[in-house]
Amino acid sequence: MGIGDDAAVLSAPDGRVVASTDLLVEGFHFRRDWSSPTEIGGKAAAQNLADIAAMGAVPTGLLVGLATPGDLLVTWAEDLADGLAQECARAGAAVAGGDISAAPVVMLAITALGDMAGLAPVTRSGARAGDVLAVAGTPGHSAAGLALLEAGLAEPACLVAAHRWPHPDYPAGPEAARLGATSMIDVSDGFVQDVGHLAEQSNVRIDLESARMPDDDALRAAARAVGRQDSLDWILTGGEDHALAATFPQGTALSEHWTVVGRVNDGRGVWVDSRRFERLSGWTHFRGSNTRY
C-alpha cells in the first residue's frame, strides 16, 4: 500500500529492512538556478538509494519529507516529484509516501528502504589484508561538473549532467554481496575519504594506485577548461558520484561493473601511490562555508 493512507505498507520478503536517511538543504546541497527540479529530485533519490545498494541490498522505497517557501510554484514541486519517481524506477523502487511543510528554503528529508534478498549485509568493517579494492562507477565526474558550473562553463556537458543528477550502479551492490565482498561503501564525500572509513573500521591499510582509477577524456578536458594540471584531485577527493567502493577476496572473478584500483594490507589509513594520504579531502559538514550544490 502506497500513498493515500496514514502510512505505507511495504513487503519485506527477506524479513530484514535496510534503511537510510539524508537531508538536503537549498544553498548547501543544491541550487535552483543551477539544477532543474527534476534533476534535484533525481539526485536526491540517487544519493539515498545508493546507500541501500552499498549494504548489498535491493532498493524498494523512499519516504520523502518536503519543506518549501509558500511561493514555490506547484509545477516546480510536481517536477521534483517526477525526478524522484524516475530515479526510483531506475532502481526498481517507488516513492511510498511522505509529508509537506513550509520553510524559508527548499529542504528534502528522505528515508530510503531496501531488502537484503537473502544476502548478508556488507558492512564497512570486514576488509582483510590481501583483499583487492574495486570501484563501480566514475569518481570525479560530479566534482568536475561542479567546477565547470562554478566557472560558468557548460562543457563537457556529460560532467555537468553527472553533477546535477548522478546515476549510481545499483545492481553492483547486491552483486558485490553475492560475490563475497568483505566491505563496501557509497562514495558520497570523496573517494579517499570514504575508502578511509573502510580502512578505519576494518583496522587495515588500503593502498590505491592512481593510474588504475577510472579516468576519461571528459575529465581531462574539464581540467584544461578550468586551468587544472590534471583531473586526479577530482577523482580522489570529489564526492557525489555515488560510485560504490568495495573490497573482495583476492582472486574473486569480478564483472564489468567493477574496476580494481588497489589492495588491502596490514597497517592503517589510506595510501596513494605508496604515500600516506594525509590531507583532509572531500565533504565535511559544518566546515566553513561548505557547499556541494
Instruction: List the grid coordinates of 136.
Output: 563501480
Long-range contacts (CB closer than 8 Å, 24 or more residues apart) made by 11-16: 12/115, 13/115, 13/117, 14/115, 14/116, 14/117, 14/118, 16/115, 16/116, 16/121
- Are 65 and 148 found together in one domain? no
pTM: 0.92
**Rounded mean pLDDT of the chain?**
93
pLDDT bin (cut points 50, 70, 90) of residue 287 is low
The upper half-sphere exposure of residue 40, i.e. CA atoms within 13 Å in the direction of its Cβ, equals 29
Give the model's pLDDT for residue 292.
59
Q: Can you give the pLDDT at residue 289? A: 43
Residue 91 domain-assigned (yes or no): yes
Q: Can you tell me whether residue 118 is helix, strand or coil? A: coil
Q: Which of 8-22, 76-90, 174-188 has the lowest mean pLDDT?
A: 8-22
Whether the predicted pLDDT of 171 surpasses 50: yes
Final residue of a structural domain among 88, 115, 142: 115
Do 247 and 164 reside in the same domain of the chain?
yes
Query: With 90 as the cut, is the pLDDT of residue 151 above it?
Result: yes
256 domain residue, yes or no = yes
- Percentage of the chain exceeding pLDDT 70: 95
pLDDT reading at 291 higher than 60 = no
Domain boundary residue, one of 80, 115, 150: 115
Same domain, 62 and 158: no
Q: Contact, 10 vs 3, CB < 8 A?
A: no
pLDDT of res. 286: 46
- What is the mean pLDDT of the segment spanning 35-59? 97
Q: Say if residue 78 is in the same domain as residue 178.
A: no
Give yes or no for residue 199 having a pLDDT over 70: yes
**Which of 9-23, 54-68, 73-87 shows the lowest per-residue confidence on average (mean pLDDT)?**
9-23
* pLDDT tops 90 at residue 64: yes
Residues 241-265: pLDDT tens digits?
999 999 999 999 999 999 999 999 9
Phi, psi at residue 174, to the nearest 5°?
Answer: -60, -35
Average pLDDT over residues 216-236: 96
Residue 8, pLDDT score? 87
- Is 3 among the domain residues? no
Same domain, 157 and 210: yes
Domain hosting residue 159, numbered range: 132-276
Instruction: Indicate which CATH number applies to the domain containing 212.
Output: 3.90.650.10
What does the pLDDT read at residue 168? 97
Query: How many domains is the chain built from?
Result: 2
User: How confident is the model at residue 288, as a pLDDT?
Assistant: 45
Residue percentage of the chain with pLDDT more than 90 = 88
- Residues 85, 144 within the same domain: no
Mean pLDDT score, 213-227: 96
- Residue 218 phi/psi, 5° resolution? -65, -45
R_g over Cα of the chain: 19
Residues 154 and 246 in one domain: yes
Tell whether the model's pLDDT for residue 285 goes beyond 60. no
In a domain, 11, yes or no: no
Is the pLDDT score of 42 beyond 50?
Answer: yes
Q: What is the CATH number of the domain that holds 30?
A: 3.30.1330.10
For residue range 138-149, what is the model confidence (pLDDT) as tens digits?
A: 999 999 999 999
CA 143 – CA 282 distance, rounded (Å): 10
pLDDT value for 3: 84
- Does residue 106 register a pLDDT over 80? yes
Do 152 and 245 lie in one domain? The reply is yes
Together in a domain, 177 and 271: yes
Residue 177 CA to residue 173 CA, distance in Å, equals: 7
Q: Could you please report the per-residue DSSP string of 219-262?
A: HHHHHHHTT-S-SHHHHHH---S-EEEEEE-TT----TT-EEEE
Check whether 290 has a pLDDT greater than 80: no
Q: Is the pLDDT of residue 118 over 70?
A: yes
Give per-residue pLDDT as tens, 158-169. Answer: 999 999 999 999
DSSP letter, residue 30: B
